[in-house]
Amino acid sequence: MPALACAAMAAAALTACGDDSGTAAPASPAPTTSTTSSPPKDSPTGEKLVLRWRKTGGIAGLGRPGSLPEFSLYSTGRAVAASQNTASRNPQGKPTEYRLKPDAVRRLLDEARAAGLGRSHTVGSGQVADAITTVVTVGDATTRVVQPESQAGPEARFLKRLDPAAWSASDQAAKPRPYTPAKTAVLAGPATGGTVKNWPLEPLGKGSQVGAAICTVAQPKKIPATGGDVAWRSEGKTYSVRLRPFLPGESSCQDLT
């Protein structure tokens, strides 16, 4: 009992007086819950897709997996638009990067919601075979505008606002420039003839399935010049190849499905 009492008194003394230097021990801080803060909304690491549109349908099967959307707008004000050049050598065209000022981005998104694009719905009849449909995503909402040229509603009218050629210079933070991707998807399919060359990069047949194509990833500077008149031999098989630049936020073939 005396030993227990002495121990208790010693503990009390340490609590009250700290160490033998005479300085009171600081109170222990209250436990806190560890949280991971989100990156700033408009920083490059926090860049988010806020609006996109693409064409789908038609006899040619537009908008298939691995195709490049016609227009993508991000929270930073960056926009990437596919070229309208549909030449057979470069069916996706060369994308162009634009930079909108923050106020212009806010106005554009406000106009999209005012046009009804903030909720998922379909405009026009879905019973038309092979109809070309414009699919617009705003946040989590998806709107399908069937044959937009024949629609007169606010959704179809708003699509004209997504033509960068119509944007005023005062709304743009920088001049348009060619979009330079960090990576490019190489989409291999059945060979359609042409001059046969040996593919110098990762085997074309050992990638991921994206629609009807096999997808591998390559650095843009390492990809040889290609086109519709060139077929590529890889591990004893011959393929046709089309290239699809990765957009902001995309990093693997799975992002293209």
For the stretch 130-179, pLDDT in tens is: 789 999 999 999 999 999 999 999 999 999 999 999 999 999 999 999 99
Residue-wise pLDDT for 49-96, tens only, equals 999 999 998 776 787 889 999 999 999 999 999 976 443 333 446 899
Q: Is 219 exposed, middle or buried (0-12, 13-18, 19+ CB in 10 A)?
A: exposed
Q: What is the pLDDT of residue 129?
A: 74
Q: What is the pLDDT of residue 93?
A: 60
Q: What is the pLDDT of residue 76?
A: 96
φ/ψ of residue 117, rounded to 5? -85, 5
Examine the pLDDT at 237 and tell me if it is beyond 80.
yes
- Helix and strand counts by DSSP (H, E) for the chain: 3, 14
Cα distance between residue 250 and residue 49, in whole Å = 11
Q: What is the pLDDT of residue 257?
A: 84
Q: What is the pLDDT of residue 1?
A: 39
Order of strands across the sheet with 208-210?
A: 195-198, 230-234, 237-245, 184-190, 213-218, 208-210
Tell me the torsion sign for CA atoms 16, 22, 24, 25.
negative
Q: Hey, what are 154's tokens?
A: 């606010």
Q: Where are the domains of the chain?
A: 44-178, 184-256
Q: What is the pLDDT of residue 57?
A: 86
Q: Where are the beta strands (DSSP E) in 114-166?
A: 121-123, 132-138, 141-146
Q: What is the pLDDT of residue 84?
A: 60
Q: What is the pLDDT of residue 87?
A: 38
What is the dotted CATH code of the domain comprising 44-178? 3.30.1560
Q: Determine which of 24-28, 31-35, 224-228, 247-251 has the lowest per-residue pLDDT on average.
A: 31-35
Q: What is the pLDDT of residue 54?
A: 95
Q: What is the pLDDT of residue 250?
A: 94
DSSP state, residue 108: H
Examine the pLDDT at 2 and tell me if it is beyond 90.
no
Q: What is the pLDDT of residue 10?
A: 39
- Give the pLDDT band (50/70/90) at residue 186: very high
- Kindly state the greatest CA–CA separation across the chain: 100
Residue-wise pLDDT for 17-55, tens only, equals 344 433 333 343 333 333 333 333 434 567 999 999 999
Q: Are 164 and 228 in contact (CB under 8 A)?
A: no
Closest CA relative to residue 98, chosen from 163, 164, 47, 160: 164
DSSP state, residue 55: E
